[in-house]
């Protein structure tokens, strides 16, 4: 064998390996792949923003060193958060009895907020879905999944798990399927401007777009719901759910956003929550 033929041999064996691995059964490859993908996803941000630890990726764009001036105002505001007037009544609602049941009791049948979405009776459920079914037992129902009351109640449930590490079952088949679907929504280019979520929240995290610092995708789920002061002053309802935020960003991309309740939004939530594994919850939070 001459040295000249060696590279050719190496590339041939590489080709062979690729062909062999491409044939690995889909499901087995999938479970190995998700752990690795999550690890690589987190590593990308930890390397790029090396002064920020995994625990600190829980304040959206304010997690980044680039945000220093705005972050100072944000932290000051968080001492007396602008959402308190909307949160306090929801806290008392949590303990009020309707139809013989309190939300506190009903929701204690579920795992704490850092373990959602999870699978119950073969169905992936979000916190909003769990609260809605408790409200039904209480013989109460609110207008929709974006109603002010429901989001405030979600905030009450989420704040109870503040500081606990986000956990999600990476091995559950139902969650894995949604992760895959969410993965495609996240990475696919769509809309008039041909952006993907990653174009902004991975490639351009830490850069500024029209005066706004773009948040890293890592940690997106742990801050929600957020309370936007601009929105509060415009509509009287400052609460923004994660799914509403997804819809806002899709419109920003010039894409048609799926309606609230659509599977694609839940899939994105599962995909992003899996990527946020181990990041401590810090919800709710205020936004401009």
Contacting positions for ligand HEC (CB under 6 A):
60-61, 195, 197, 199-201, 209, 212, 214-215, 220, 223, 226, 245-246, 249-250, 252-253, 268, 287
CA dihedral 254, 260, 264, 265 (to 10 degrees): 90
Minimum CB separation from ligand HEC for residue 192, in Å? 11
Q: Between 90 and 202, name the residue whose CB sits nearer to ligand HEC.
A: 202
Please answer whether residues 175 and 123 qualify as being in contact, where contact means their C-beta atoms are separated by less than 8 angstroms.
no
The nearest distance, CB 148 to ligand HEC, in angstroms, is 18
Instruction: Quickly count: other Cβ atoms within 10 Å of residue 222's Cβ.
Output: 27
Cβ(250)–Cβ(139) below 8 Å: no
We find the least distance from the C-beta atom of residue 186 to ligand HEC, in angstroms, to be 6
Contacts 24+ apart (CB under 8 A), 228-232: 228/286, 228/287, 228/288, 229/82, 229/286, 229/287, 229/288, 230/288, 232/82
Closest-by-Cβ residue to ligand HEC is 60
Residue closer to ligand HEC by CB (options 90, 185) is 185
Among residues 242, 103, 81, 75, the alpha carbon closest in space to that of 160 is found at 103
CB nearer to ligand HEC: give 145 or 215.
215
Least distance from C-beta 13 to ligand HEC, angstroms?
Answer: 39
Min CB(249)–ligand HEC separation in Å: 3
- The partner residues of 212 in beta bridges, in order of sequence, read 209
Question: In terms of CB distance, is 103 or 185 closer to ligand HEC?
Answer: 185
| Residue closer to ligand HEC, measured from CB, 268 or 279 | 268
How many whole angstroms from its chain centre is CA 95? 27
- Give me the sign of the Cα torsion angle 89, 94, 95, 101: positive
CB of 60 to ligand HEC, least distance (A): 2
Nearer to ligand HEC by Cβ, of 138 and 190: the residue is 190
């Amino acid at each position: 064998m001459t040295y000249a033929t060696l590279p050719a041999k190496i590339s041939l064996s590489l080709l062979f390996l690729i062909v062999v691995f491409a044939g690995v059964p889909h499901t087995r490859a999938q479970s190995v792949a998700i752990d690795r993908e999550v690890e690589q996803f987190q590593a990308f941000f930890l390397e790029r923003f090396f002064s920020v630890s995994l625990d600190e990726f829980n304040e959206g764009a304010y997690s980044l060193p680039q945000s220093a001036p705005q972050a100072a105002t944000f932290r000051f505001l968080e001492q007396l958060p602008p959402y308190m007037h909307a949160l306090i009544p929801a806290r008392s609602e949590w303990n009020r009895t309707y139809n013989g049941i309190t939300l506190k009791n009903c929701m204690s049948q579920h795992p704490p907020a850092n373990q959602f979405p999870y699978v119950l009776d073969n169905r992936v459920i979000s916190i909003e879905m769990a609260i809605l079914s408790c409200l039904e037992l209480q013989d109460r129902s609110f207008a929709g999944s974006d109603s002010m009351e429901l989001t405030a109640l979600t905030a009450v449930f989420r704040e109870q798990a503040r500081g606990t590490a986000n956990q999600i079952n990476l091995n559950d088949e139902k969650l894995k399927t949604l992760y895959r679907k969410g993965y495609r929504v996240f990475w696919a280019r769509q809309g008039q401007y041909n952006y993907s979520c990653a174009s902004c929240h991975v490639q351009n995290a830490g850069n500024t777009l029209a005066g706004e610092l773009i948040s890293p995708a890592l940690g997106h789920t742990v801050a929600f719901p957020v309370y936007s002061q601009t929105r509060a002053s415009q509509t009287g309802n400052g609460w923004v759910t994660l799914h509403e935020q997804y819809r806002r960003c899709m419109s920003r991309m010039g894409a048609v956003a799926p309606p609230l309740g659509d599977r694609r939004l839940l899939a994105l939530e599962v995909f992003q929550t899996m990527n946020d594994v181990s990041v401590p919850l810090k919800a709710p939070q205020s936004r401009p």
